Structure 1
Amino acid sequence: MKRAKKLLSLLIAAILLVSLSSCGGSKGGGENEAALGKYNALTYSFGDMTLDATGDWLELKSKGKATISVDGDEFACKWKLNGTDFTLEERGDIFKGTLENGVIELNLEGIVYTFAKPGFEPATSPESEEAPVVTAAQDLADSEYADEIAYWNGDWYGWWWITSAAGDWAHLSEKYYDMYCTINLDADGMGQMMFWDDDAGLMKLEVKLDTNNSAPHGILVSTKGYLWDFDYKPGEWVIDVEDNGLDYENLWTFEGTYIDPTPDEAGSQFDYFICMRPWGQNWDDIEDAGERPPGYDWYVGELSSGNTMPEGLGYGVLSP
């Protein structure tokens, strides 16, 4: 999680360095004097990832001047408030947000920062009435898909291999990493798959269980999902432990391609191959060590110690 936070901090600092280093804009008017003061950062969010932003701050000064501090770097800029609409502005580059009841929500190129004056807190949203991704254990047990859901739900461990890479990602060609995955299906066989490695969050998929086939555990089919900033088409992922091309039990594979939507170099992309088994599964039936995860010795030690799978690292856009 610390690695993910550092990456986002660097991304925010880069955005501010480019866009705010010579800030100019409308001044805060006299009617906005109540808004003056220092706002401490609480969190920043990107996609499904929300991280602690303690230590960062934003100070609104008179005559529309302001200073924002991110990860120890300070940037001078100017601010404007119109009702509750708040902006930091620089020659056409406008960062929009809101300021209300001592709390600022500011969108920095898709990264949403929350700042608050001392003594103020963001308004809490009422709890969602939507059903959780995973229903109560009894609901799962009563599901017509109970056996299949019990098989898929839980933690999976394996590896992913960058089989070829080009452009901005050429340096990853032939790289080989441990991979982790958590699957959560509800009583209707709908749910999510989330993937990460030791450095970053990777894929996140919404999937459905399909039992209209001969697979003893059914298959999982994606309805939507993404790898960083690259979206998958519905049905692009099909997970079947019986059709993995390898003669090993409780193992599934997938081949895919990541195409960089915003490359520095045209044609930047990479192809990858994934191989996964349930956390706790022994891989000794695979004699070739090159077909086991690169951290397999570590994994065996974790199992011997009774440890659970490492926590996910979040899901966001990461630089090459």
Structure 2
Amino acid sequence: MKRGKKLLSVFVATFMVFSFAACGKDNPASEKPESVEFNLGNYKLVYKDACIMKDYDGNDALVMTLDYTNNSGSSDSYLWSISENVMQNDVSLEFATIYLDESSFETVCDSQFTEVQNGETIEVKTAFILADTTSMVEVSFEESFGDATGKVITIDPSKLSRETPTAPSTKTTEKATTADAGDALLDFWNGDWYGWWVMTGCYGYYEGMGSMSWDICGTIDIGDDYTGTVVLWDEDYTRNDPMVEASVTLNEAGTGEYGTLMSESGNFTDIPLEHADWIVDPGLVDFPPGMIIIDGYYENGDDEYYYEIHLLPWGSSWDDLGEDFIPYSYYDWYLPLVEAGKPMPDSIDVGV
């Protein structure tokens, strides 16, 4: 299997190399680096600092601090507008999860989800698991939905200080809010789902299959620690032999009340799923309420396509959505089962 790539790849256009010393005051030998400022289309970034922290699994992680300014003319977030590529020893580094408070699952990078109004600036952090703490790291940035690219920043991990993540002083109040929201989030996500999925932009073996759609079923199971699994199967698969099996994390930050679901690992058909290949925010779906849309990119050799998966909880009515949005087997297979009070079966047998 070929390693899956992110939907938006980073291409570096301008090279300017900087070596930076550590952040933090607990290392007497560290020196605060000069900031690096550059524009990426409608956005402005200022690289301010870097340090090393331990992620939730005990790995050393590079944590960078930046100022993010949104000049796009509308509200936007760092997560949706900026793509990063972090390389060490010619290998892309994986995103790191670093908790500020494990009881509420707040992480150092949560500010990336914040909706920033036009003209406003916020501080964000981004974190990546280091392969080692001695080899140089090269970081580049790109506008996600544009062609603008930024400078390449070179960081020497051996000169960085180590820091321990600390929660903000307002944490007591925020923790109570998180606990109140937790049950509602799990109630929304957990359970059985049904809908359809579609391919577009198909090449190779899948050329000619663009805009074809298939019914799909699935189960989401997320625990109190906000980690869990998503299992999906269409007409060619079953619950025990699924089309998709993904490990996911849930975060209450998002554009709506249901937070954001993010892939961490797993498989989509015959390719791996990686951290942030899926970023699922129900608040971005205008209609109907409660629908989730999972989108991603498949590439295996010369075979590639984009995909979208549309899901509503099992038992939901699709009648008001119009023929173009109703799953193919909705009337002949799904609706009779729902009207009979049947649970979601382990396979989609449209012959029944």
TM-score, normalising length: structure 1? 0.48
Larger Rg: 1
